[in-house]
Chains A and B, each alone.
Chain A
Amino acid sequence: MKKINSFKEAVANVKDGQTVMVGGFGIPGTPIALIDALIEQGTRHLTVIKNEANIPKMGLSKLIEAGRVDRLITSHLGLNPSVLAMMNDKKIEVEFNPQGILAERIRCGGAGLLGFVTDIGIDTVLSKNKEIVSVEGQKGMLLPALRADVALIHAAVGDSLGNLIYAKSARNFNPVMATAADIVIAEVETLAASGSLEPDRIHTPSAFVDCVAEIETLSDEYGILEDYIFG
């Protein structure tokens, strides 16, 4: 099956009011070209699930600053004062999760599970309004799995079947998110010929991926950022 799409065709899958997972931890692994195409399309009232919101004027932050996101399910916004200010001004609703709990809720969603039990955050403000259960004498919170209508993924290499390979720390949330949405769209830096990828090297198998869009030229945003830390 041919899954290759233009960026415009790919993001046409995202409708107003939907929930969208966005890969990446910082700029590595953030599907910037798909985000740009989504901004261009004008889709609104989105709920977005992403580890963080990048830094002001970059990546996901651009979609949020454009007022397209009503709700953000995330882990940490410490590097994004713009989105924090929008949160404080009630221009966006933010739900914070511990980072590993966010990842595990997504993993469960992808694995077809309803939720899981954890003791992370027990006896803190996070256990308020949560269902407390006992498992073999240990107290835990029952947390629901997370799924999305669409997942936007960034991979280093993909093929026309939808097999994906990630690079270094750009892997992060991408493989779990690629399992946890009804429609999974991957932007790839290199589109490989079908059958040319070594089966042992594939991180996300083709069955999880619906659309592949090839990035023609990586924009500067994908490059080395002066705002990050150097030794």
Chain B
Amino acid sequence: MDKKDKIARRAEQEITPGQVVNLGIGIPTMIMKYLNHAKRVQIHSENGILGMRSHCSRQHADRNLIDAGGGYIDLDEGASFFDSSLSFSLIRGGRLDIAFLGALEISACGDLANWMIPGKYTPGIGGGMELAQKARRLVITTLHTDRKGNAKIIESCTLPLTAKACVDRVITDLAVIDVVNEQLQLVEMAHETTVDEIIAKTDAPIIVPEEPLPRF
């Protein structure tokens, strides 16, 4: 299984029945593939949809129905449509139970940087700031290191922040790490890794419990 698929499959377990969920672009969108529909969650999309189900085939595509990432979608029972202002009232007003986003950098105290690399990558902000700051729970899904092998989890962010102290949990191809009282805590490990590898690929102090950790 591809590393990103493994992250998406593990991230799906964070979702509890009945939750209102937002899935960002990239690995978070892949969570839809693994979503257990018996949980009867409601997936929110920033462009004004609550109750999207999954990306659909070309045959079933509706020209008036895409998600915020530009994918044609189908709907769950009980779905609704609304305008962009109301869509963000849902987020800022505290009705979004959990959001999943990608990351460029995550700091030891849970700061997130994921929207720009000055001079290199400046596509704009989208809905990421509102999601990071206002979702009741924020889970980051990302590869543990970048393409060059540099740690993405670092002492403090060097890139412009999306939001301060917003991250609750990070799920990577190597580990599940919680931010607790502005400290990183290892809570689960991938089957093929070791504590030493995780520490070596994380550029911030990380608390490792003495008892054996669950594997995923």
Contact = CB atoms under 8 A, between A and B. Distances in A.
Interface centre among A107, A169, A222, A224 (most CB of B within 10 A): A169
Contact of B84 (A27, A94, A99, A118): A99
B68 interface: yes
Contacts of A15: none
B125 A98 contact: yes
A97 interface: yes
Contacts of A222: 63
A230 B126 contact: no
Interface centre among B55, B64, B68, B133 (most CB of A within 10 A): B64
Contacts of A52: 124
Contacts, number: 159
Interface range for B: 35 or more
Interface stretch (A2-10, A35-43, A121-129): A121-129
Interface in B143-199: 160-164
Contact of B71 (A102, A223, A230): A230
A27 B126 contact: no
Interface stretch (B9-17, B45-53, B99-107): B45-53
B83 A171 contact: yes
Contacts of B123: 76-78, 84
Interface of B: 25, 45-49, 54-58, 61-73, 81-85, 87-88, 91-92, 122-130, 133-134, 160-164
24 contacts: A25-B47, A25-B48, A25-B66, A26-B47, A51-B84, A75-B127, A79-B70, A98-B130, A99-B130, A100-B85, A101-B130, A102-B84, A103-B88, A120-B134, A168-B64, A169-B64, A169-B67, A171-B48, A172-B47, A172-B83, A173-B83, A173-B84, A224-B58, A231-B54
